[in-house]
Structure 1
Amino acid sequence: MSVAKRQQTATSGSYDPASTSLPTFHDAVPGFQDGSDSPRAYLERCLEVIEAREPEVQAWVTINRDGARAAADAATDRIKAGRALSPIDGMPIGIKDLFMTKDMPTEMGSPLFKGNQTHADSALVYGLRLAGAVILGKTVTTELGFSHPGPTRNPFDSNRTPGGSSSGSAAAIGAGMVPATIGSQVVGSVIRPASFCGNIAIKPTLGALNRGERAGGLSQSHVGVHAGSLQDMWAVAYQIAAKAGGDAGYPGLYGQEAPAAARKPSHLVLLQTEGWETLDGTTHAAFEQILDQLRRQDIQILTRADSPTIDACEVAIADSLKLARDICCWELRWTLRNLAEKDASQMSDSLKQRLALAEDMDLADYRAALDQRDRMRARFRALAPFADGCITLSSAGIAPPFDGSGAVGEPGITHQTGLPAFNAATSALGVPCVTLPLMGVNGMPVGVQLVGQAHRDQELTGFAAWMQENVKPVSL
């Protein structure tokens, strides 16, 4: 069955993590090298799937077919001559439409930026081009990367959201359109949509991948990678760091170019977060089956009941949604004020809510929030002697309905693309997370999230590889 046909079959809400496969790039490279395949042919297969699925999924804002074909042809020539620039030379990649691209508009999910031409690449895009990646197009983001949704639908049920704010990036992977896309996360915008769309994804250590220009200059914004495989995910992340470095003042992503070998963890902390109380019974039961498999393989799962240090961490992160909201509102206030002065009628109610919250804050409030975040980070670092990492869910259940009827809120903010209750803490902590599509709940994907200490990103991918090989996916 072709990728396009297989992914079309999956839209009926019958997702099964054990049988759903996504396109990969690294598996195609040997064919490029022996001449039986080529980056140009690979790109054309991706475009075929996009042609079949895009009318329903609506993952893309812009697709640069001519530019992508020229880049794929150049990669084909380099590989044929034995001069590949990197392991991702010729890989088609989608870029979240928050990041600048010199050959396509950067509209940031807002009518206020319609047709906005920057004629420049963000640092991460520039780095990907240096590595030979084929920048295929811009993927849909929610408005300025926050709560107001764009048109994208979940690739496994078009009546449900793909999540946000990396909506198109997650949906393009779940629909089998490309092997990798770029997303970003301030609160839950990489890991949650990856969970909803059945992706593998990484939110690296804060600052590990160069954000370049980013609206608002948000202090906990992370660049992330969505992919169909751990190998492609790591290859893309590594090349961004190798070519463009990390954020200014940060050391960048640590690790080797080769993907981490599978490694079994001995101890994992079950990090409940504030999301635990929001779980439905079926999601909870499916996750318990995952944990039981780990226990049967002699991995010790530690909880807050096992240690005052773990409990203290849980207490410290228990109000992360509000904390992230306050920090982001204060940091975004200048951008929102400027947009409101330009044309407030073109701003969503959600964005106006954030501006109103920001206007009610002062510098003392922001300093208090930063102090709280520092205390959270110290409590999390204290877990390092106890375990190799942490395990939790990637989302609070399956994707809610697209029509907003499943919208959930926190004080002052409504989330139409799902509540980031399992993500706000790890974003505030700035630590690496990887999500694996190991669960099917009521015919829809739900991810399992592994969380590590800062700068142990590649080690975390090794634990993820071991879980892929040794944990049987669960469907309930």
Structure 2
Amino acid sequence: MTYHPDTYEPLSFSAARARFLSGEQRPSEFLEACLATIAEREPEVKAWVVLNPEAARAAARESDRRYQAGEPLSQIDGMPVGIKDLIETKDMPTQMGSPAYEGSFPKRDSALVRALRDAGAIILGKTVTTALGFLDPGPTTNAFDPQRTPGGSSSGSGAAVGAKMVPVAIGSQLVGSVLRPASFNANWALKPTFGGINRGERLGYSQSHVGIHAGCAEDMWATTMEIVTRVGGDPGHPGVYGELTAPPPQRPKRLAVLETEGWPRLDSASREAFESLLERLQTAGVQIIRRADLSLLDLLEQSIATATANMLRLISWEQRWSLENLVEQHPGTLGPSLIRQLESGRNVTLETFREDLALRDLARQRMEALAPYCDALISPASCGPAPRFDVAKQTAFPTGDVSFSCVSSYLGTPAVAAPLLAVEGMPFGVQIMGQAHEDERVTAYARWMAEAARHADQV
């Protein structure tokens, strides 16, 4: 399936909701269309671990009645949603992509799932995750080419939205697990300010985030805010700030280009597509700032030059104790990347962990120092389009290079992946990143860029 951002029509719940309100369509009819798409595409895409169609149909009928009575619960009432299989649901197992958790059924809802149900959303099923949300892939394929990776770890969520099975799916990001699958599958995705969306039971890591995959910016933002309005952010965090409806497009005055350690690994076609976008933004009146133009930007680049390695060491320390328990209780269930991660954690000392925390703090300070000089930062959301499976499996990152998508996790800042580009007929997302708690502003900038980029020549 060839992708082009000007011709691809995503599944939009906000457009369907207008039909619900007018009586032209019912939520149950929209759900049936989603189920039909799943029946058609799931044998190839393999985005789902488990589906719960009968419970979904019952929830859709309740939503039908609310719309008929003129009393919908929220702007996402009747929206079918996929939930990454790291996040607990009371009516479906939570198996985390790992044999160690096969059959695990806690029978409770995570905070964000409860919020979605309270808003009238329809929890349709659990989407595939890499093992424990790390690097060992599951069976999912890319929504546009079954020979390519969908990205990880939110592989099923990204592919389900890209394949138009559901308008929204919930993902999570520890390194690059929301932004990279979004880039590969033509999603809009928000990786919020750290702590911005309540992680519920998944509070074990110092830089993990819940993220939202969606077909359009309006659905991405509405879902975010309907969750946050009900359950807030993580304990001790204020949650994402903003209005319930998506902010209108807003042109940034100054954008700083963030190269990251991934810049040398961009192929020529992807770099050409990204540079063409920057030229188009400049023509539209946006000042583009490069690291050679601003010493503070260069200092930030220096701080994130080894972000991937620093993050993986931090994670290996924080993850070691749970992996040790799995080795004891479920021997033989860890995949190769998790074994490497455990071995790394065993070699990380407390002193090394503290040094990596200090380096991360310094990078965050340098990010904050940029606030007076640019409205936001822009970069590719991935090192080009999704790599083919046979190529990716030969690298350290079998679900795709994380060097662009990991930066906002390292910095704890909000980032939106917007499906603005295509390379060789495949999606190639752009990342727009802002200062902490500027999620709404970053979304507004991304929406404006989508309009500015429309009809741009694609490579």
- Provide TM-score, normalisation by structure 2: 0.98
1:222 matched residue in structure 2: 209
Which residue of 236, 253, 257 maps to 2:240?
Answer: 253
2:304 matched residue in structure 1: 317
Give the residue type in structure 2 aligned to 1:65: P
Q: Following TM superposition, by how much is the alpha carbon of 1:344 offset from its aligned partner in structure 2, in angstroms? A: 2.8
Q: Following TM superposition, by how much is the alpha carbon of 1:120 offset from its aligned partner in structure 2, in angstroms? A: 0.1
Q: Following TM superposition, by how much is the alpha carbon of 1:30 offset from its aligned partner in structure 2, in angstroms? A: 2.0
Give 1:15-414 correspondences, 5 Å limit. 15-214=3-202, 217-403=204-390, 405-407=391-393, 409=395, 414=396
Q: Following TM superposition, by how much is the alpha carbon of 1:358 offset from its aligned partner in structure 2, in angstroms? A: 0.2
Q: Percent identity?
A: 49
CA–CA distance in 1 between the matches of 2:265 and 2:342? Answer: 27
Give the residue type in structure 2 aligned to 1:157: D
1:22-57 C-alpha deviation (Å, 9 max, x unpaired): 110011112112222011000000001000000000
CA–CA distance in 2 between the matches of 1:268 and 1:249? Answer: 31
1:26 aligned counterpart, secondary structure: helix
The answer (yes or no) to whether the contact 1:329–1:355 under 8 Å persists in 2 is: yes
Which residue of 401, 410, 425 maps to 1:443?
Answer: 425
2:169 aligned counterpart, secondary structure: strand
1:205 aligned counterpart, secondary structure: coil
Give the residue type in structure 1 aligned to 2:114: Y
1:286-338 C-alpha deviation (Å, 9 max, x unpaired): 11100000111121100110011111111011110001101111111111000
CA–CA distance in 2 between the matches of 1:408 and 1:250? Answer: 40
CA–CA distance in 2 between the matches of 1:27 and 1:443? Answer: 26
Give the residue type in structure 2 aligned to 1:286: A
Q: Following TM superposition, by how much is the alpha carbon of 1:243 offset from its aligned partner in structure 2, in angstroms? A: 0.8
Give the residue type in structure 2 aligned to 1:228: G
CA–CA distance in 2 between the matches of 1:33 and 1:24? Answer: 15
Q: Following TM superposition, by how much is the alpha carbon of 1:402 offset from its aligned partner in structure 2, in angstroms? A: 2.1
2:384 aligned counterpart, secondary structure: coil
Give the residue type in structure 1 aligned to 2:213: H
Gaps of 5+ in 1: 1-9
1:3 matched residue in structure 2: none
The answer (yes or no) to whether the contact 1:408–1:418 under 8 Å persists in 2 is: no
CA–CA distance in 2 between the matches of 1:358 and 1:184? Answer: 22
Gaps of 5+ in 2: none
Q: Following TM superposition, by how much is the alpha carbon of 1:114 offset from its aligned partner in structure 2, in angstroms? A: 0.7
1:419 matched residue in structure 2: 401
Q: Indicate the larger mover: 216-225 or 241-250.
A: 216-225
Q: Following TM superposition, by how much is the alpha carbon of 1:343 offset from its aligned partner in structure 2, in angstroms? A: 2.4
Give the residue type in structure 1 aligned to 2:276: Q
2:458 matched residue in structure 1: 475
CA–CA distance in 2 between the matches of 1:425 and 1:191? Answer: 10
Q: Following TM superposition, by how much is the alpha carbon of 1:407 offset from its aligned partner in structure 2, in angstroms? A: 3.5
1:428 matched residue in structure 2: 410
Q: Following TM superposition, by how much is the alpha carbon of 1:408 offset from its aligned partner in structure 2, in angstroms? A: 6.0
Q: Following TM superposition, by how much is the alpha carbon of 1:474 offset from its aligned partner in structure 2, in angstroms? A: 4.1
